[in-house]
Structure 1
Amino acid sequence: MKLKNVYKKSKVIILNSYYSYYYYNAKLNKKLILVESKNGSDLAGNMFHILLELSRPEYEDYTVCLSVLESKRESIQNQLDKYGIKNVQMIRTNSYNYYKYLAIAKYLFTDTSFNRSYVKKEGQVITNTWHGTPLKKMGRDVADRAYAMGNVQRNLLIADYLIYPNDYMKEKMVDAYMLRGLYDGTILNEGYPRNSVFFHKEIGQDIKRELGLEDKQVFIYMPTWRGTVTKKNTEHLLAVTEYHLKPLDKKLKDNQVLYVKLHPFVSKDVDYSKYKHIKPYPDQYDAYEFMNMCDCLITDYSSVFYDFANTGKKVILFAYDETEYIGERGLYVSLDSLPFPVVKSVKDLVRELNSPKKYDDTQFLKECCTYDGPGAAERICKHVIKGEKVCREEKLPKNGKDTVIMFGSALAKNGLTTSLLNLFNNIDLKKRNYFVTFNEHALRKTPLRAAQIPEEVGIYPMSSSESFTLLEAIAYTLYFKLDKENEFTEKYLDRLYKREWKKQFGDVHFDHAIQFAGYEKKAINLFQRFEGSKSIYVHNDMVAEMKTRANQHYLTLKNAYQKYDKVAVVTRDIVPPTLEISGREDNIVVVNNCHAHNEIIRKANEPLTFDVDTKCNITQQELEGILAGDKKKFITIGRFSPEKGHMMLMKAFEKFSAKYKDVYLIIIGGHGVLYNQTLEYANNSEANIIIIKSMKNPMPVLKQCDFFMLSSYYEGLGLTLLEADALGIPTMSTDIPGPQGFVKDHGGYLVETSEKGLKNGMIAFMKGEVKAMNVNYDEYNREAVEHFDSLFE
């Protein structure tokens, strides 16, 4: 398995090296056009009609390449032959030739997105038509899929031209993918190339005659694909499809024919020979030319009805599973708001098939088919390739505010995420345009983390990891694995991360870049290459981090703290270790974390709830009983990591409990390598120790406790200390840089960083010597916001 992975990685590196050679060294071929439909898996819709246009004599001096998956080569060749398209060179998607043409083609057309390793080259002209007016929610509007929208988002942002056939679609796409304020290209308010066929009735009539259907009433059924590609789901979908087709076939008349166009995963297993009136869609025809022949379209949640409406013929929505489907995905408009009849049973479907069109779709056509008409592909190609301004152009307006991109790490349940959300809770989000970026793969298992970001703040997921060339991989290994720094590593890492920035963000103009997390060496190096004002946060004593957890790369931190314009330490106590790493003092600024004290109070008043992934060594009911009881409850909150000192705290508590037996210690953590060890120790202890892992809202527990203890060996500031104080709970902290200055400034209680120190602090609390600090957090936050704003000066 290990050798297989090495082979796979080596193959990718060689392919990236080949692509990068042409990216850096080859000139653009001004007569080369690359067309790709659905990542090479199809030749349909807009791309087919663009290709038809490019086969005309006007473009005979251009070389037209079509990206095609090997498995689709034969069927697509048959389609090209049927339509007499001769001047197209098919290239295998993701082959060496494909990457070469991807790097040198002047003009690129797509209806979806290019692959994740593609980097737009200066001078390339990209036209993205997309593949339909959205009915189903998209992009950020799908809460559990927003984290994965990065590749689509960046492909839209790097496009020179976006084609929108109606203002409704334009609005949905611009908002769902947050193009407003970022997109510098041109929108063409132009009809879809594929829809132009509906304005040439003779094309449909020719197909009807060709298939011998002149005396037939022809219907087409084009349902949405449901589910995944797993065998189980495919079998279920096949069964559901045949469950409907069988009775439908019996009820159709002899002068009626129903063609069915299903997803290939289902259609290949349907036995159409048992049906008298139902036939499979003949895939040698372009779907839109074929639809032009049909008298009625049957669909459900597919956006194809927006296109077919141009014919003026009847549309029926067969939504037999409407409640289930919409519950999973969500729609922008309800089916009932559309002019088309909606049916749930085969009986009602047949009734509608045998009834004339009775609805008025005038307003729908005006709103959703606004710019459709004949000649769309001709105008688009003239506009894009020939430079003739024959399409309606539009630029998205800018609001004149600075745009800030911030790296937020994995948005996990930890102090980093809390501090980011607290910041957004306090700053004026209308003052600048803020976007949060993160690595898509980091949220794959917990996709709803992205939903934590306020709606006023955009998200921009990074959709891929580094695409190394051979020399860059060597430099990466020398620098990160062997800690070697020289001209070679500097040259190729600089080239790698500058190209990575362009790959992830294209030419989007950001005024400021903030590596807010302060961790993750790849993100630190990436943001370091941003060509503009850049800041990096330091949330912790990174010298101690390297000694205790060995989770930081010294060379990365040293270079970052030297080369970022501003290094924002969250408390003055961690200036010395930061300076020890960088040796540069003039760019270090103190930017205190904000504290969402009002939000903490609100959350504390919510019911105590265990989440699906919460783990606790007692039941929720038992915990509630303890919290409601008269016995004292001590608490700490922090990840199960060495620096948090949980083991030291438990040992100190055991000694304390020898005298004070009616006291509980509660430890709440989100994650960490020491969870199992901490749990085992607590379960074997004779003291009353409760361990809780992964609790989205621990504030109801914190509110009912009597004493908060920060037992860390080192810390940035320790926001949980502030959370406890906001709830009026007495607190103490180990006397360490980070919380040290804050606690001293506000008259708090500090103890020696040892079992003895913690034990003495507990005793002091029992004697009434430890009080709540009762900080004025409104004033504290005003100062923290001023510190944050100083990063932009």
Structure 2
Amino acid sequence: MTNMKLLNMYKKAKVIILNSYYSFYYYKARLNKKLILMESKNGGDLAGNMFHILLELSKPEYKEYTVYLSVLESKQVSIQNQLNKYGMGNIRITRTNSYHYYKYLATAKYLFTDTSFNRSYVKKEGQVITNTWHGTPLKKMGRDVEDRAYGIGNVQRNLLFADYLVYPNDYMKEKMIDAYMLNDLYEGTILNEGYPRNSVFFHKEIGQDIKRELGLEDKQVFIYMPTWRGTLVKKNTDHLLALIEYHLRPLDKALKDNQVLYVKLHPFVSKDADYSKYEHIKPYPDQYDTYEFLNMCDCLITDYSSVFYDFANTGKKIILFAYDETEYIKERGLYVSLDSLPFPVVKSVKNLVYELNSPKNYDDTQFLKECCTYDSPGAAERICRHVIKGEKQCREEKLPKNGKDTVILFGSALSKNGLTTALINLFNNIDLKKRNYFVTFNEQALKKAPLRLAQIPEEVGIYPMSSGESFTLFEAAAYLFYFKWNKENAFTEKYLDRLYKREWKKHFGDTHFDHVIQFAGYEKKVINLFQRYEGAKTIYVHSDMVAEMKTRGNQHYLTLKNAYQKYDNVAVITSDTVPPTLEISGREDNIVVINNCHAHKEVIRKSKEPLAFDVDTKCNITEQELKKILAGDKKKFITIGRFSPEKGHLMLMKAFEKFCVEYKDVCLIIIGGHGVLYNQTLEYAKNSEEEIIIIKSIKNPMPILKQCDFFILSSYYEGLGLTLLEADALGIPTMSTDIPGPRGFIKDYNGYLVEASESGLEMGMIAFMKGEVKAMNVDYGRYNRGAVEQFDSLFE
């Protein structure tokens, strides 16, 4: 065994032990009504709202409470010094993600955060969570950031877990509720209350004291707080430091002797910045609370940071130094344009210096009314009294519900495949205003292709699942027995049931769904997860799962058997798949037929677009060669389906070669998205004497399909085969192997069936050449109306 494998085993064992420790307190320990757990920026900071709430909790009136602050190990010394400086001797530190931390996470009655707790946190019944967040958003957030929306799950679930959400203005409330899709899901209470950190701006003496302490009474003090421009994955620290220095050098020379500029950078950058070369520029002294320090400053310089929403309470000047505005907005996006704000926007150091030496010359009255609405002295006191002592000190608000049923569907990885097509077709045909629809998926599945989410209509919410299972020792054993060794007994039932009930609560808390739908029908972990939902639940069956297990071995029999027995509805997409489904479950009364919808209008529209390869498209001929073939007179046969054993591509190619002995001037096109047989398929085509074109991964194959003469579904087994319907919608003659799934549909519409063999496919090709195979020309409008009625019947 390699050292790497041993290391991985050690890491997994360590996580399981930690989870077991946490779960022990989660299940066995009572809540401590006098215990409070605080966390700022996931343990990486003590600033802003959390700092000022801690100040409030350090007062004598809360002396009967034990208050723990979660802190990363690397921050313990600096934060302890900060606590000491402000006389908060009663506040205790616990290391983030330590054993003690998990104990307090499971037993504290009151929890406060300005971001989110970690991904393994499960809210315990009776816990009271207050989430203040950490700023009014200027930059887009949540689902509004298209290439990062897939990763919002942990923040979203933490917001939904919260008993109290604090919003200092209606603008912020609206943006966050929309960006994290809290409407019709959030059951907690909104506190329309000022930010605790902003109360300091109403006490000028605090700033004056710091100014005296630092010997700056005769100085004009500025602070520069630029936005972090990297990501957690791509920090690019050297470039950012060079950029900052590029601006600070000439700025330092332009500043007067009675002026001093403090710079507060993101921790990733600040630790490497060198200020020794400057005369008038200094680093922010981190022993001070940021907002108390801001209260001292005469002017704030920032760019796209939400700090200006807070600083505006001082009435002092704000300058937006947006030297890279066009580039930044293109990458991240803003909710409002900088030009719509009252503050001066500058792009050069020269103009920045001019503004620093000019008095405030703008009117921010309307801005203060809209964006500093509830800020006032004593916010932390009111929040703590409201939340902990039960005194109604803050303005409360409940989000109104629209009275519609709420439905969540698991959509798998939203890959380029039939499952995703079926899901999008469903959304394109049902009335999305009839119910509140949400799509869930595993965050990691979209990490490499985040823009897949763009397929989901805006009217449909998203709710990513942000982590995998958090096993205890016994649950991990039960998991192995059940999934790896196919053992089912009282032990596996007990601990898998406990695991997945807790997992549901971890992801979705007490969020109410009227119906949950495992639409993909695959992925054993999610099948087991949805099975434990205590409410109406449906699982789809898109294929002959008996054949799937025999051919691909990609399904877990015990999972399917139990799911088909325990879900309220088992939705098969064609009547042909009822027998194999019944063979697995032995229960017939919960099996319903719900046909997949077909986006025939969209297929026709896409077929009119110009043919174009994507960046990731692979083909054994060039795009220009393909266009020439499609425009030519030779007959073009085509199939579309992943490069997988059940699709029968090898059988099709062999049949095509036999067919070509008699029939010349014909080519075969095979288009697939992915699959284990791609290389083998490509190699076979390469060695064939006939013209076989292999195309992998093309976003829109419809322009190719439209120019072909004959569509062949060559599968050994299939759910229905939506590509068959797509070809028919374009008026192309089609045929299919005589298998469950397509069989019923094709018989209903007088299509052409052949035996699932080389000879069967060859005979079908010959029949086409003789004019015996026609397009079915199905009325898809009528077909879809029937499918929608079937889908709606789930909710009756």
TM-score normalised by length of structure 1: 0.99
Kept in 2, the 8 Å contact 1:339–1:359? The answer is yes
Question: Which residue in 1 is equivalent to 2:593?
Answer: 590
2:693 pairs with 1:714: no
Which stretch shows the higher mean deviation, 257-266 or 114-123? 257-266
Distance 1:368 1:457 in 2: 29
Greater than 6 Å deviation, 4+ residue runs: none
Question: Which residue in 2 is equivalent to 1:755?
Answer: 758
Q: Select which of 121, 126, 135 maps to 1:132.
A: 135
Kept in 2, the 8 Å contact 1:22–1:104? The answer is yes
Amino acid at match of 2:406: T
Q: Relative to 1, partners in 2 of residues 1:635 and 1:531: Cα closer, same or farther, differing over 3 Å?
A: same
Question: Which residue in 2 is equivalent to 1:537?
Answer: 540
Q: How high is the sequence identity, in percent, across the aligned residues?
A: 86
Written as runs of structure 1 = structure 2, the 5 A alignment for 1:238-249 is 238-249=241-252
Q: Select which of 41, 49, 54 maps to 2:52.
A: 49
2:452 pairs with 1:449: yes
Q: CA deviation at 1:263?
A: 1.2
Where 2:236 maps in the other structure, the secondary structure is helix
Q: CA deviation at 1:80?
A: 0.5
2:49 pairs with 1:61: no
2:277 pairs with 1:274: yes
Where 2:297 maps in the other structure, the secondary structure is coil
Q: CA deviation at 1:138?
A: 0.5
Question: Which residue in 2 is equivalent to 1:113?
Answer: 116
2:182 pairs with 1:211: no
Where 1:578 maps in the other structure, the secondary structure is helix
Written as runs of structure 1 = structure 2, the 5 A alignment for 1:64-213 is 64-213=67-216
2:325 pairs with 1:361: no
Distance 2:607 2:722 in 1: 15
Distance 1:477 1:93 in 2: 30
Distance 2:451 2:234 in 1: 27
2:360 pairs with 1:351: no
Q: Select which of 642, 646, 670 maps to 1:643.
A: 646
Question: Which residue in 2 is equivalent to 1:466?
Answer: 469
2:403 pairs with 1:400: yes
Distance 1:151 1:456 in 2: 21
Where 2:388 maps in the other structure, the secondary structure is helix
Where 1:107 maps in the other structure, the secondary structure is strand
Q: CA deviation at 1:228?
A: 3.6
Distance 1:679 1:206 in 2: 75
2:331 pairs with 1:331: no
Summarize deviations over 1:540-563 as a string: whole Å, max 9, x none: 000000000000000000000000
Distance 1:770 1:493 in 2: 52
Where 1:272 maps in the other structure, the secondary structure is coil
Distance 2:497 2:268 in 1: 45
Q: CA deviation at 1:272?
A: 1.0
Summarize deviations over 1:680-732 as a string: whole Å, max 9, x none: 11111111111010111111111111100000000000000000000000000
Distance 2:233 2:430 in 1: 46
Summarize deviations over 1:504-537 as a string: whole Å, max 9, x none: 0011000101000000000000000010010100
Q: CA deviation at 1:230?
A: 7.3
2:614 pairs with 1:611: yes
Kept in 2, the 8 Å contact 1:228–1:234? The answer is no
Q: CA deviation at 1:105?
A: 0.1
Where 1:365 maps in the other structure, the secondary structure is helix
Written as runs of structure 1 = structure 2, the 5 A alignment for 1:648-667 is 648-667=651-670
Kept in 2, the 8 Å contact 1:261–1:281? The answer is yes
Where 1:386 maps in the other structure, the secondary structure is coil
Q: Select which of 362, 383, 387 maps to 1:384.
A: 387
Q: CA deviation at 1:325?
A: 0.9
Summarize deviations over 1:730-782 as a string: whole Å, max 9, x none: 00000000000100110000001111111111111111110000001011011
Question: Which residue in 2 is equivalent to 1:686?
Answer: 689
Amino acid at match of 1:615: K
2:26 pairs with 1:15: no
Distance 1:538 1:659 in 2: 41
Kept in 2, the 8 Å contact 1:192–1:376? The answer is yes
2:770 pairs with 1:767: yes
Amino acid at match of 2:773: V
Which stretch shows the higher mean deviation, 610-619 or 636-645? 610-619
Q: Select which of 362, 375, 378 maps to 1:375.
A: 378
Distance 2:722 2:276 in 1: 69
Distance 1:216 1:302 in 2: 25
Where 2:668 maps in the other structure, the secondary structure is strand
Q: CA deviation at 1:450?
A: 1.2
Kept in 2, the 8 Å contact 1:407–1:514? The answer is yes
Distance 2:651 2:566 in 1: 38
Question: Which residue in 2 is equivalent to 1:578?
Answer: 581
Structure 1 unaligned spans of 5+: none
Question: Which residue in 2 is equivalent to 1:742?
Answer: 745
Question: Which residue in 2 is equivalent to 1:223?
Answer: 226
Distance 1:103 1:560 in 2: 31
Q: Relative to 1, partners in 2 of residues 1:315 and 1:547: Cα closer, same or farther, differing over 3 Å?
A: same
2:436 pairs with 1:440: no
Amino acid at match of 1:571: T
Which stretch shows the higher mean deviation, 223-232 or 444-453? 223-232
Kept in 2, the 8 Å contact 1:664–1:690? The answer is yes
Distance 2:616 2:434 in 1: 38
Amino acid at match of 1:365: L
2:41 pairs with 1:38: yes
Structure 2 unaligned spans of 5+: none
Two-structure CA RMSD over aligned residues (Å) = 0.8
Distance 1:230 1:587 in 2: 47
Summarize deviations over 1:288-311 as a string: whole Å, max 9, x none: 000000000000010000000000
Amino acid at match of 1:8: K
Distance 1:269 1:557 in 2: 55
Where 1:155 maps in the other structure, the secondary structure is helix
Q: CA deviation at 1:231?
A: 8.7
Amino acid at match of 1:258: L
Q: Select which of 403, 423, 428 maps to 1:425.
A: 428
Distance 1:139 1:607 in 2: 34
Amino acid at match of 1:426: N
Q: CA deviation at 1:54?
A: 0.2
Amino acid at match of 1:723: E
Question: Which residue in 1 is equivalent to 2:628?
Answer: 625
Q: CA deviation at 1:267?
A: 1.6
Q: Select which of 287, 290, 298 maps to 1:284.
A: 287
Distance 2:641 2:155 in 1: 36
Question: Which residue in 2 is equivalent to 1:495?
Answer: 498
Distance 1:623 1:231 in 2: 39
Amino acid at match of 1:212: G
Amino acid at match of 1:381: C
Question: Which residue in 2 is equivalent to 1:730?
Answer: 733
TM-score normalised by length of structure 2: 0.99
Summarize deviations over 1:598-644 as a string: whole Å, max 9, x none: 11111111111111111111111111111111111110000000000
Kept in 2, the 8 Å contact 1:229–1:265? The answer is no
2:260 pairs with 1:257: yes
Distance 1:604 1:463 in 2: 37
Distance 2:459 2:240 in 1: 40
Amino acid at match of 1:432: R
Distance 1:549 1:225 in 2: 47
Distance 2:560 2:233 in 1: 45
Where 1:10 maps in the other structure, the secondary structure is helix
Distance 2:166 2:204 in 1: 24
Distance 2:87 2:728 in 1: 76
